[in-house]
Structure 1
Amino acid sequence: MHCTKEDVIRAIAIYAVVVFLFVFLVCPLCTLFVKAFQNKEGAFVGFAQFIKYFQSKSLIQSISHTFFIAIMSTIISVTLAFFFSYALSRKNVPCKRLFQYIGMIPIFAPTMLLGIALIYLFGNKGIFTALGLQVALYGKVGIIIAESIYCFPVATTILMVAFSAADNRLYEAAETMGTSTLRKMMTITIPNVKYGLISALFVAFTYSFTDFGAPSVVGGNYNVLATDVYKQVVGQQNFNMGAVVGIILLFPAVLSFVVDRITNQKQSAAINSKSVPYQIKPDKKSDALATAFCICITLVMVVFFAVALFASLIKLWPYNLTFTISNYDLTKVASGSGFTAFKNSILISLITAVLGTIVTFVGAYMIEKNQKFGASRKTAYFLSITPLAIPGTVIGLSFIMFFNASQFNIPFLEGYVLQNPFHGIYGTIWIIVLANMIHFYSVPFSTAMTSLKRLDKEFETVSESLAVPFYRTLRKVTLPLCLPAICEMWVYFFVNSLVTVSAVVFLASPTAPIASVIIVSMEGAGQTAPAVAMCMLLLFINLLVRLLYEGIKVYWNKKKRVGVSRG
């Protein structure tokens, strides 16, 4: 069989992606699973660690706490997101884009900020507490409120897409038959968005089930699995028990992933070429109620972040409300490592965004536009969507266990060891970059796949018939057409890498501190105002990056419309 230069390049590209995902996804996860079935000395003990875990009342209590928090947060966040998305999609609400953008703000902030803002509002010296509104903040109530706000934007994004897929013909037929508004909601609207609703429920459940940031701030003595695994690994250096908790955290996430994949496929199948876009009809009463609801939601968001901003600009809450910007002097916080941590976080996010975008796009291109190496393409696709099912906490755990080991014992070959060639990056920023790339890999990969699927396959066919190398077509045609999607991928990697804590809390070290982990330490040490200031800086940077991207997108769309009109 003749092998051309292009085949060699294709093979190198697809195998490089497979090797990358195998080494930095499969190998760490295998290490985590092996640790769960070993004792501290490395001897195989079967399910002894699991039995020990489930015999501990406090640890069993953590599981019940985690499920309770996740269920309550999911119900609250998805219910609010459902009506918020419905109002923006189906009612004449003014300033829709503004409401939507404000509702998305929690995505751009560390989850610790939500917990800290709650303390300023409902803590012992909080604003509403001083006004007589008593809330048992520390414990399940505080975590549920913080997680509900954290999950709200994610659920809203999913439901907005679901509502956009409505077929107006069904509503016209219902109106012709005199169907009431409530019945239309129950028989048309909810069945139409049921797959999106199920997806939102499972995604919100996974987010709240595995989050570390909010419970670490307002959890108090109310233990959940995410904080338990941190205490086991960082506090007690019990990696084996940490691996057990990591596997327990993995099960709900995997279930959520499977359901999400099934519902997404069914939702896509429900949209056809004959569908008519939904037409919003004026209704003063319902439009006014929808607007009022959107105002209430956005006011809550504004109050949360306005209070946090105010707290970062005063000397000492609530005793000295003098204006100051000293909290933003990062050189004087966290024992002088605040500025280094902040600088590292930006650097890590930039590197993650660049490398992550390149790797995911190349992987998606080789899977979608390459007709050769079928087995490798299927393997690459499976590995590419797998990170979506793995919580950040589990990725962080698996990374610390894999990279911390200088060598591995080879099973059944006593006395033989395998040296770990990647041990050298432990304790550096590169282990955090790799963890972020794996943690956030699947969503940008899906974005790239969607963008590539929209391109006409004739581009590759014509290029082949004219003997034009595929990499030239990629550079001249594919990349320019996919540029908006590539920018979206870059922004996604950057924004999430800057504020994530669940994966990197295990990987940050004194030699490579990062902002999100330093914030947890500062808040725990009582340096709340500087912690808020650092949170706000991260939020401002993410908002600035997103606004720049939105501005570029508007420019592209305007340029495209001008090109079409001239054509």
Structure 2
Amino acid sequence: MFMKNRGFRAGKLLVLIFLCFSVLLPLFTLFFHIDGEDISKVIHSPQFAPMLINSLITTTLATIFSVSLAFALAWFMNRTNLRYRSIFTVLFTLPMLIPSISHGMGLVLLFGDNGLISNLLHMKFYLYGYNGIILGSILYSFPVAFLMLCDTFQYEDYTTYEAATVLGLSKKQQFLTITLPNVKGPLISVIFSVFTMIFTDYGVPLVVGGKSMTLPVYMYREVIGLLDFSKGAIIGILLLIPAFIAFIIDFKNDNKGNSSTVTRNYVITPNRKRDRIAYIICIATVVFISLPIITFAILSFVKQYPTDMSFSLDNVVQAFDLGVRMYLKNALAIALLTSILGVCLTYFTAFITARSHHSFSNMALHLISMISLAIPGVVLGLSYVLFYKGSLLYGGLSILVLVNITHFFANPYLLAYNSLQQFHSNLEDISATMGISKLRMLKDVYIPCTQATIIEMFSYIFVNCMVTISAVSFLANFRNMPLSLLIPQFDSQSLIEATAFISIVILSVNLVMKLIIYLLKRSLQKEK
């Protein structure tokens, strides 16, 4: 049996080595690269306090609005007689399929000085500053919160509500005494996840921040513009603080949701007034989401915005002349390689931690895998620059694939971990008694039974690789740059129409991938 499991032990050692070189060592390098004198310079600089205040205020307000909207939409999808739920769900998640910087650009194109709506209504909107950052951050973050909360509502047991109705509790009382306590754990996780997403994002405030600079934008400009790695590292450490607080609270949060077994699915009672309100808010949200995307589509095929709005393919031709084809190939290569390698690594890591005894090495492996969830992309990118600069990996596609695997490691790992834990706990003991190796069990039992999860893991990594601009922005050059990084580059050159076209291309690629994933999962269900 020892000989049979030797391959498993070798694989486990390789995973540990990978996580050390992809997570731990780059982070330690970031810490050691800080110049002590620069700490005082950064903290006591006149712009530091305003930047910190800007980041905290905009992030807090955007998180409140984003989570509130997501909670309302998730409740409507699961607690009302709303028709076309699946269509609404797809439309609500569209903002996830374009980079965060595109949301900022979409707002500028709509409500800026020469925005479509500004010109149409002859009004001046005060977009730049807090208003723009908060609006763009809501667009960017609420789909993630919506999906997490939607999943939570599906696991509520109706028998509790039935008993409450018999006891005479009103719907409002049931909501306050049953629904909110049931979703308390997941809601805390959602709040901290959204807060971390917004706090560490530089895409939206880079475009619509105006004079209200945030910490990620400052870090981006110091490193990319001035190559000041020490000051960038200091800001990077500061950005890690809320992320690690969120990680620790989430890790200690045992009450992830309703721990009772669902014995009866929720029964939705007829209520026309409630359903009308649901339709109004859902349709208004869809319009809010769709406007930037429709604007990108319009601007991609006009002659010259805003002076000549006649149909033209000149912007498409110009975009391809500027290298869109090459950067799209880079993006697809990075996304596909990251997805394939990322699925293999995350799934095997989850197999080790979920289907083995709770030894110290397995617990350490689980903790390191989860730590990547708490590392913002901008911090990870800078740490890779400091650790890998001058190495054979640096400057090629491989470094972008590696940083993306690390950046998106935790969520697919958790998907696989939760799926693998559903199998009977004695399965390994039975297989050991029969002389079946762990790798054979992985190949013949676990992988075939969790194909739907594996497909979902692939989809998650691919889509995020196509839209990310954070970690890769510090490591990309003109030869290996993915398509998403052309957006800030073209935006700085005032190539508005070409930038809009790139956003549409990224959205189209991700929609095609989502369609393929849907068809694959559907075929798997038919086979069952």
TM over 0.5: yes
Letter in 2 for 1:273: T
In the alignment, what sits opposite 1:337? 323
String of CA shifts for 1:96-135, please: whole Å, max 9, x gaps.
Answer: 1111110001111111211111112101111221203431
Q: Output the CA distance in 2 between the equivalents of 1:132 and 1:76.
A: 28
User: Counterparts of 1:129-278 in structure 2 under 5 Å?
Assistant: 129-130=118-119, 131-263=121-253, 265-268=254-257, 270-273=258-261, 275-278=263-266
Q: Which amino acid is 2:271 matched to?
A: D
* Structure 1 residue aligned with 2:84: 95
1:473, 1:329 → 2: CA distance?
Answer: 53
1:275 CA displacement: 4.7
Q: Deviations over 1:210-258 (max 9, x none)?
A: 1121112222222111110011111111100110000000001111112
Work out the CA distance in 1 between the residues paired with 2:319 and 2:501. 13
Q: Return the letter of the residue paired with 1:224.
A: T
Distance in 2, matches of 1:512 and 1:555, equals 36
Q: Distance in 2 between matches of 1:245 and 1:23?
A: 22
Q: Is the contact made by 1:330 and 1:339 (CA closer than 8 Å) also made in structure 2? A: no
What are the Cα deviations for residues 542-566 of structure 1, in whole angstroms up to 9, with x where unaligned? 1111121112212222332xxxxxx
Q: What amino acid maps onto 1:62 in structure 2? A: M
1:365 aligns with 2:351: yes
Q: 1:434 aligns with which of 383, 391, 402?
A: 402
Conserved? CA contact 2:38–2:231, under 8 Å: yes
CA distance in 2, matches of 1:366, 1:162: 27
Whether 2:430 is the aligned partner of 1:478: answer no
Residue 356 (structure 1) shift: 0.6
CA displacement at 1:58 relative to structure 2: 0.8
Instruction: Specify the alignment match of 1:353 in structure 2.
Output: 339
* Matches for 1:100-119 after TM superposition, within 5 Å: 100-119=89-108
8 Å contact kept, 2:347–2:413: yes
**Aligned residue for 1:456?**
424
Q: Structure 1 residues 167, 331: CA separation in 2 closer, same or farther (over 3 Å shift)?
A: closer
**Residue pair 2:395, 2:476 contacting (<8 A) in 1 also:** yes
The Cα of 1:365 is off from its aligned counterpart by 1.0
2:100–2:204 Cα contact (<8 Å) kept? yes
More displaced 10-residue stretch of structure 1: 26-35 or 123-132? 123-132
Q: 1:9 aligns with which of 1, 7, 13?
A: 7
Any conservation in 2 of the 1:84–1:156 contact (CA below 8 Å)? yes
| Offset of residue 271 of structure 1 | 1.8
Question: Displacement, 1:459?
Answer: 4.2
**Match of residue 27 from structure 2:** 29
| TM-score when normalising by structure 2 | 0.96
The answer to which of 551-560 and 138-147 deviates more is: 551-560
Instruction: Provide the rounded CA distance (Å) in 1 between the counterparts of 2:452 and 2:316.
Output: 34
The residue matched to 1:468 in structure 2 has which SS?
coil
Shift of 1:458: 4.8
Provide the residue aligned with 1:410 in structure 2.
none
| 1:398 aligns to 2:406 (yes or no) | no
Amino acid at match of 2:19: L
Which deviates further from its counterpart, 22-31 or 289-298? 289-298
What per-residue deviation string (whole Å, max 9, x for no partner) do you get for residues 272-301 of structure 1?
236533211111111121122111111221
Quick one: which amino acid aligns to residue 382 of structure 1?
L
Q: Distance in 2 between matches of 1:279 and 1:505?
A: 48
Partner amino acid, structure 2, of 1:399: Y
Residues 185 and 272 (structure 1 numbering): CA distance in 2 closer, same or farther, change over 3 Å? closer
How many Å separate the matches in 2 of 1:242 and 1:318? 38
Gaps of 5+ in 2: none
- In structure 2, what residue type is equivalent to 1:74? T
SS of structure 2 residue aligned to 1:92: coil
- Corresponding residue to 2:491 among 523, 530, 535: 523
1:473: how far off? 2.4
CA RMSD in angstroms, aligned pairs only: 1.7
Amino acid at match of 2:81: N
Asked if the contact 2:455/2:521 (under 8 Å) is kept, the reply is: no
Question: SS of the counterpart of 1:379?
Answer: helix
Whether the 8 Å CA contact 1:15–1:376 is kept in 2: the answer is no
Structure 2 residue matching 1:6: 3-state secondary structure: coil
Distance in structure 2 (CA, Å) of the matches to 1:447 and 1:274: 21
Q: Which residue of 1 aligns with 2:276?
A: 288
Q: Do the aligned residues in 2 keep the contact of 1:113 with 1:308 (CA within 8 Å)?
A: no
Matched-pair contact (CA < 8 Å) for 2:156–2:262 = no
Greater shift in the superposed pair: 62-71 or 133-142: 133-142
Question: The residue matched to 2:392 in structure 1 has which SS?
Answer: helix
SS of the residue corresponding to residue 220 of structure 1 reads coil
| Map of 1:409 onto structure 2 | none
Name the amino acid aligned to 1:471: L
Distance 1:157 1:26 in 2: 30
Residue 399 of structure 2 contacts residue 475 of structure 2 at CA under 8 Å; is this kept in 1? yes
Matched, 1:321 2:309: yes
> C-alpha displacement at 1:441, in angstroms?
0.1
Q: How many angstroms apart in 2 are the aligned matches of 1:69 and 1:397?
A: 24
Q: Give SS of 2:104's match.
A: helix
- Are residue 299 (structure 1) and residue 287 (structure 2) matched? yes
Give the share of equivalent positions with the same residue, in percent.
Answer: 31
Give 1:118's aligned amino acid: L
Whole-Å separation in 2 of the counterparts to 1:100 and 1:367: 33
- Secondary structure (helix, strand or coil) at the match of 1:279 reads coil
Residue 419 of structure 1 is matched in structure 2 by: none
Q: Which residue of 2 aligns with 1:546?
A: 514
Deviation by residue 1:352-407 (Cα, 9 ceiling, x = unmatched) = 001111111111112222349x2321221111111001111110010011111x4x
Q: Contact 1:337–1:513 (CA<8 Å) still a contact in 2?
A: no
SS at match of 1:5: coil
| Counterpart-to-counterpart distance in 2, 1:139 and 1:314 | 29
Q: Distance in 2 between matches of 1:95 and 1:253?
A: 36
Count the aligned residue pairs.
527
Shift in Å at residue 337 of structure 1? Answer: 3.2
Structure 2: which amino acid aligns with 1:500?
T
SS at match of 1:519: helix
By how many angstroms is 1:487 displaced?
Answer: 0.9
Q: Which amino acid aligns with 2:113?
A: N
Provide Cα deviations, 1:417-452, integer angstroms capped at 9, x if missing partner: xxxxxx111111111111000000000000111111
8 Å Cα contact 1:328/1:534 also seen in 2: no
Task: Call closer, same or farther: CA 1:167–1:332 in 2, change over 3 Å.
Answer: closer
Q: What SS does structure 2 have at the residue aligned with 1:266?
A: coil
